[in-house]
Amino acid sequence: MTSRCGVCCYNEAKRVAIFGGTHGNEMSGIMLVNMWSKNEAEIQRSGVMTKPFITNPRAVEKCTRYVDTDLNRAFTPENLSAPCADELPYEVQRAQEINKMFGPKGSANAYDVIFDLHNTTSNMGSTLILESSADHFTLQMVHYIKKAIAPASCPVLLNEHPLLKYSTSRSVAKHPIGLEVGPQPQGVLRSNIFESMRAIMKHALDFIELFNNGVEFPPCSVDVFRVQERMDYPRDTNGNITAMVHPNLQDCDWEPLNPGDPMFQTFDGRTIPYEGSSPVYPTFINEAAYYEKQQAFVTTRRETLAAYAIRKTEQ
């Protein structure tokens, strides 16, 4: 990335991947990647090689999130540099293979863009997930997508938190983007959710085509929700949960949670209120996969990021 006269120049995004099945029971991405693997017409754009790819085929076959360990947490430097061995957990071996095919992570040979398709049981709508506030290419892409699907909304989650950030499969690319669409139960395919994800991918690929053809995107601002804190369920001394997400909070992703608002309901009907000092914006509310990760929801705060103008680097 080079900068000249306030315009950020990025190399053309020639190699793009679309990952499905990083979690083997998140059906929209699996069905889209399978469909596009058979017929690439919909994802073809001039000047771009776009590869649809099932990242965790064993988990997909069993319709389970993962076999040994969460693939979407497996791309740590330790795992990627561990000596190749059969004793390694399946997903760690898989992470190494994916890093070879689409990376290496952090190198000049890595794929330009990877879209990672996910579903959530939370009522998050069509959420785009970013890992850096300084990647103006992805900020501009996200801005383009939001405008394209308006008036439908497309919240943007920024996970740059030093402790809560995790090593995703898409992090192998120079520009990683997560798509998280819900609510959809694990193992279920809902038509509306499938079509929403498909529409977002269409606009994302349109953006890349325009960028590669030399279009300059002017400076813009992007409203995001920045990850703050993970909130666990109340638990007893044995680690068992003692309350559920309150009906007033359930399904209210992206809406303000104010101090004093109901947050959890115990099994015998008592309300536990939110006791923070200021309003927060919760998301990933009651995601099935996060019970084992000790997360009832994550709090975010609203922020507006400034994206520089961008243009492709002249060869």
Partner 1 sequence: MYLCISVLVVFFQMELLTLPALRRMAICGGTHGNEMTGVYLVQEMARRQKEEGDKAWPVPLVLVLSNPRAMQECRRYIETDLNRCFTSAILSFPITDSTPYEIRRAHELNALLGPKDSKEAVDVLCDLHNTTANMGVTLIAYSPNEWICLHIYKYLKGKMTLAPVRLFMVNIPKNEAYSLESVGKNGFSLEVGPQPHGVLRADIYNYMKEAIELSVEWIGLFNSGVMIEGGEVDAYVFHKSIDYPRDPESKQITAAVHPQLQDQDFCCLKSGDPVFLSFSGETVCYKEEEALYPFFINECAYYEKGIAFHLARKTTLKIPSVRVQRN
- Closest distance between partner 1 and the C-beta of residue 90, in Å? 17
For the annotated binding site for Zn(2+), the residues are: 23, 26, 118
CA dist 222 and 64 (Å) reads 35
- Nearer Cβ to partner 1, position 50 or 212? 50
Rg of the chain (C-alpha set): 20
Residues in contact with partner 1 by CB under 8 A are: 31, 34-35, 121, 183-192, 194, 241, 244-247, 250, 265, 267-268, 286-289, 291
Structure tokens at 290: 């996060």
Instruction: Tell me if 246 sits within 8 A of 271, measured CB to CB.
Output: yes
- Nearer Cβ to partner 1, position 152 or 215? 152
Of residues 110, 93, 108, the one with CA closest to residue 56: 93
Of residues 100, 112, 137, the one with CA closest to residue 15: 112
- Nearer Cβ to partner 1, position 30 or 142? 30
Instruction: Tell me if 308 sits within 8 A of 8, measured CB to CB.
Output: yes
Catalytic residues: 180
- Closest distance between partner 1 and the C-beta of residue 201, in Å? 13
- Nearer Cβ to partner 1, position 191 or 277? 191
- Closest distance between partner 1 and the C-beta of residue 199, in Å? 13
Can you list the pairs that 262-268 forms with residues at least 24 positions away whose Cβ atoms lie under 8 Å?
A: 263/231, 264/233, 264/234, 264/296, 266/234, 266/242, 267/242, 267/243
- Closest distance between partner 1 and the C-beta of residue 209, in Å? 22
For the annotated binding site, the residues are: 23, 26, 65, 72-73, 118, 166-170, 180, 290
For the annotated binding site for substrate, the residues are: 72-73, 166-170
